[in-house]
Amino acid sequence: MELAVTKLTKRFQDITAVDQVSCRMTAGVYGLLGVNGAGKTTLMRMLCTLLRPTGGTITWEGEDIFAMDGRYRKILGYLPQDFGYYPDFSICDYLMYVASIKGLRPVTAKKRTGQLLELVGLSGMEKKKMKKLSGGMKRRVGIAQAMLNDPKILILDEPTAGLDPNERIRFRNLISELAEERLILLSTHIVSDVAYIASEILLMRSGRICASGTTDELIAAMPERVWSMTVEKDQTEHFMKNYKTVNIKAARDGVELRLLSGQRPTPDSREEAATLEDLFLCYFGEKAGEEDA
Amino acid sequence: MLKFELKKVFSRPGSAIAMGILAVVIGVTCWFATDVYYVDPNGVKQRGPSAVAALREEQKAWAGELDSEKLRQVILANKEIKSSPEYQSEDENEREIAYSRGQGFKDIRDLLNHAFAAGFCDYDYYCADRLSGDMASQFYGRRVSLLKEWLEGEAKEQYTDKEKAFFISRYEKIKTPFYYDYMTGWTRLFDYAPTVVMITLLILGYLVSGIFSGEFSWKSDAVFFTSFHGRKRATAAKTGAGLCLVTGIYLVTMLIYTAIVLLYLGADGWACPIQILFSGWKSFYNISVWQEYLLILAGGYIGCLFTSFLCMWVSAKTRSAVIAVMIPFVLIFIPSFLENIPAPFVGKILGLLPDQLLQMGNVLGYFNIYSLGGTLMDAAPILLTVYAVLAVLLVPWTYRIYRHMEIG
Ligand SMILES: Nc1ncnc2c1ncn2[C@@H]1O[C@H](COP(=O)(O)OP(=O)(O)OP(=O)(O)O)[C@@H](O)[C@H]1O
Ligand SMILES: [Mg+2]
C-alpha cells in the first residue's frame, strides 16, 4: 500500500498553488498542516483526480492514478472542504445515492448506511432533509459519505471544521479506529486534531512541504527553541516585534511571555519543552512587526 | 441512479412551479382548441358538446368524395343562401340564420375560395359566391394551374426548373377527387399543436437545464466526480434522466392534449388528404391527416429532444443553468429576427432551423425544398433526420465534457 507523489506541481495562471511536492504515504494517518492558502486543498484535489497536475506524478502501488481512473476511485473516499449536498434529499436518500454512484449494490448500501450513521452518531435521523441539518451534522454526513465504499485511501479536507468539542473527540477516536489497513490524509489548521491521531505530520507552506515526520521528530528538528519569561508590561511590545510569540499572559509582577528564539532571549528566561503548537508557530508564525511586510 | 437523478430535478425549487405552469397552459390551450360554436337554425350561437354534435351532423351530411357533382352542389347551395332574404337582411339575427344554413359545407366553400382565387397566393373569402355550378369541374385543374402560374411568375427566380417540375409533379400525382369528411377535431388539434409543443419545450428546457450544472451549484461536484461511477455511469444516468423527462413529459402532454381535443370534437376525417384542410390546400406533401399528426408528433419530439440535449450540453459546458435555460428561447425566437433579412438564402436556412420541428404543420405548407447530391428532398424528412442525428451526437459530446471535468 503506497501512494507516492513525485514533484507534483499545480499552477493557476500566475499562482503556483502546489510546488514540486514529493512524498510517500502508506497505511496510517497523515496530518496536513498549513495556513490558509498553503495549497492543501489543491494538493488533495489532485490526489482525488479532480485536478490534473501541471507537472509531476501521483502513483498508487506504482501505477499512475489518472491512468487507473475508475479502479483508483473505487478505493478512494473524499470529504471536500466545501462539502455540498442535494438540499431536498434526506440523509438516507443522500447516502443511498452516493452509494449507488460509488458502485455499491443496494443491499450492501443499506447495510453500510446504517452502520455509518451509527458510527457518526446520526442514527435515527435518516429521514431528516439535508438542508435542515446543522453545520456539524452535515459534516458528519460528509464523513459517512466518504466511508461508504470502505476506501483504502481516505482524504478528508478539514473534517473537523464546525464540529463541537465532543464530536471532535469522537471523530479522533473514529479516525484512529479506521486507520488500520487504510491511508488517511486529513488537512486542518487545528493543531490539536493532528497532535493526537496523526502518525505523520506534513507541514505545508506556500505550496511546498517544508517539514514532515512524527510529532517528536518534528519537535526535535525544530530550528528554534521555546522560552518563557516574565517581563515588564511596557516591554511586551518590544518582544512581540522581535520574536514569534506563542502566548502572552498577564501575571502579578508583569507579563508572562512564551516565545520562540534560536538563542536565550534574556538571561533569566527558562527553556520549555516544545509542543506541536510551538512548532506550528515556528513554521507559519509571524513576528508582530512582520505583519505588513 | 436514474431515480435519484430525477429526484434531483424535481427537488429544484422551480420544478413544481414549472409543472404547474405546464398543466395550466395545457388546460387553457385545450379550452381554446375545443371552443367550437354552432349557429342553430334560429340564428343563436351555441357552444358546448351539443353544439359540437350538431355541427358534426351537418358537416357529416357532406362527407364523401369531393367530385364535380358534390362541388356543384356546394356552389349552388351557397348561391341559394347568398340570394336568400335572410342573407341580404340588415338584421344581425337574420344574417346569423343565413350563416347557419351554410355551416355544413363551409370547409368545402373555403377550398373553393382557394381553388378559384385570382392567384396562387391570394385568398378571397367571397370568391365562392361568384362561381357558377359548371365551374365545379375546374376545381382540381385550378389547383395545378395556379401553382404553375405562380412558379412562372412571382416565384420565377426562387426555384430552379428542376424544383419547379418537382412541385408540379407532386401536385399532379395526388389522387383526386379528395375525400371530404367532418374534421374540426383535426383542424383544431393542428392549429394549437405548436403552442402545446413550444410550452412543453420551454418547461423541459427549465427542467433539464439543471441536470448537469446542478452538481456545481450544489457543490456536490467533488463527491460526484471522485466516485467510482461518477465520470461514467452516473454521467450516463444524467443523460438518461434527460431522455426520460423529455420522452415522458412530451408524450404525456401531447397525449392528454390529443385525447381531450379529439374525444371532444371527434377524430373523423383521419384518412382524408391534408389538402382538404384549410392550411393544407397548397401543401405539396401528399399525405393523409393521420400522417400529418404523426409528423407533428415526431417533429415535436425530435425538436424537444434536440433542444433539451443542447440545453444539457450547454449546462455541462458552462456549468450554469441560467445560460442553459435560455437555449429554447433563443432557438424559438432567433428565426423571427432572421425573417426580416431579405436575402434569398435566408429563407432556405430558416426552413431548416430547429424551431420548424415544433410546427411541422406549417412546414408542410411551405415550399421548401433542398437538393442533396442531385436529388431533391422536401424539408420535413430532412428536418427529422438531421435533428435526430444531432440530438444523438450531443449525447457522447456532453458525456465527454463530464468525463474530463476538472474541479479547481
Ligand atoms: N481554481 C483556482 N484558480 C486559481 N487559483 C486557485 C484556485 N484554487 C486555488 N487557488 C489558489 O491556490 C492557492 C492555494 O489554495 P488552496 O485552496 O489549495 O489552499 P488551502 O491550503 O486549502 O487553504 P485553506 O486553509 O484556506 O483551505 C491559493 O492562493 C488560492 O488562491
Ligand atoms: Mg483548503
pLDDT digits (tens, 9 = 90+) for A99-143: 999 999 999 999 999 999 998 888 899 999 999 998 888 988 999
Q: Nearest-CA residue of chain B relative to A157? A: B222
Q: Flag whether pLDDT at A293 surpasses 60.
A: no
CA pseudo-torsion sign B239, B243, B244, B246: positive
Within 8 A of A185 by CB-CB distance, chain B residues are none
3 state DSSP class of A17: strand
Q: How confident is the model at residue A289 (pLDDT cuts 50, 70, 90)?
A: very low
A45 has a chain B CB within 8 A of its CB: yes
Same domain? For A185 and A238 the reply is no
CA angle A137, A138, A142 (to 5 degrees): 115
A50 touches ligand 1 (CB under 6 Å): no
Listed residues B132, B160, B180: the one ending a domain: B180
Cα A156 to middle of ligand 2, angstroms: 10
Using a 6 Å cutoff on CB, does residue A188 contact ligand 1?
no
Q: Is residue A291 part of a domain?
A: no
Give the CATH number, domain containing residue A79: 3.40.50.300
Helices then strands, counting H and E runs in chain A, come out as 11, 14
Cell digits of residue B363? 412546414
Peptide bond between residue B41 and the one before it cis (omega within 30 degrees of 0): no
Q: Copy the grid coordinates of residue B124.
A: 378571397
User: End-to-end distance of chain B based on CA atoms, in angstroms?
Assistant: 25
Q: How many residues appear in chain A?
A: 293
Q: Which of B143, B162, B180 is the last residue of a domain?
A: B180
In this structure, are B12 and B58 located in the same domain? Answer: no
Cell of B408: 479547481
Nearest CB to A86: which of B220, B229, B233?
B220
d(C-alpha B48, C-alpha B247), whole Å: 33
Confidence class for position A170, pLDDT limits 50, 70, 90:
confident
Domain extent, residue A227, equals 223-284
Number of domains in chain A: 2
Q: Determine the Cα angle at A238 with ends A234 and A240, to 5°.
A: 110
Taking contacts as CB-CB distances below 8 angstroms, the residues of chain B near A73 are 226-228, 230-231
Whether A81 is in the pocket of ligand 1, judged by its Cβ within 6 Å, is: yes
d(CA A53, CA A110): 36
**Of all atoms in ligand 1, which is nearest to the CA of residue A42?**
18
Bridge partners of residue A155, in order along the sequence: A78, A185
| Nearest protein CA to atom 7 of ligand 1, as residue | B408
Q: Are residues A179 and A34 in the same domain?
A: yes
Residue B315's domain comprises 2-33+182-403
SS3 at position A269: coil
Residue B56 and residue B91 in one domain: yes
Hey, whose CA ends up nearest to atom 18 of ligand 1? A39
Q: Which one of A76, A100, A150, A152 would you mutate to disrupt binding with B, by most B Cβ within 10 Å of its Cβ?
A: A100
Q: Per residue of chain B (408 residues), what is the pLDDT tens digit?
A: 899 999 999 988 889 999 999 999 999 999 999 999 999 999 999 999 999 999 999 999 999 999 999 999 999 999 999 999 889 888 889 999 999 999 999 999 999 999 999 999 888 899 989 998 889 999 999 999 999 999 998 888 888 899 999 999 999 999 989 999 999 999 999 999 999 999 999 999 999 999 999 999 999 999 999 999 999 999 999 999 999 999 999 999 999 999 999 999 999 999 999 999 999 999 999 999 999 999 999 999 999 999 999 999 999 999 999 999 999 999 998 888 888 887 777 888 888 999 999 999 999 999 988 988 888 999 999 999 999 999 999 999 999 999 999 987
Three-state DSSP string of A120-148:
CCCCCCCCCEHHHCCHHHHHHHHHHHHHC
**Of A164, A187, A219, the domain-final residue:** A219
A39 alpha carbon to ligand 2 midpoint, in Å?
7
Residue B408: inside a domain:
no
Domain assignment present for residue B322? The answer is yes
- Kindly state the cell numbers that stand for A30: 497523515
Decide if B218 is inside a domain.
yes
Q: Is residue A90 part of a domain?
A: yes
8-state DSSP, A233: G
Q: How many domains does chain B contain in total?
A: 2
Q: What is the mean pLDDT of residues A78-95?
A: 92
Shortest CA gap B393–chain A (Å): 25
Residue nearest to atom 31 of ligand 1 (CA): A37
Percentage of chain A surpassing pLDDT 90? 51
Going by alpha carbons, the residue nearest to atom 26 of ligand 1 is A36
Nearest CA in chain A to B405: A50
Specify burial of residue B169 (Cβ count, 10 A radius: 0-12, 13-18, 19+): exposed
**Global confidence as pTM:** 0.91
Q: Which of B180, B210, B229 delimits the end of a domain?
A: B180
Asked if A101's CB is within 8 angstroms of B11's CB, the reply is no
Reported as a pLDDT band with limits 50, 70 and 90, residue A290 is: very low
Cell of A203: 507541514
Same domain (yes/no): A256, A143: no
Q: Separation of A17 CA from ligand 1 center, angstroms? A: 6
A61 and A26 in a common domain: yes
If asked whether residues A112 and A236 sit together in one domain, one would say: no
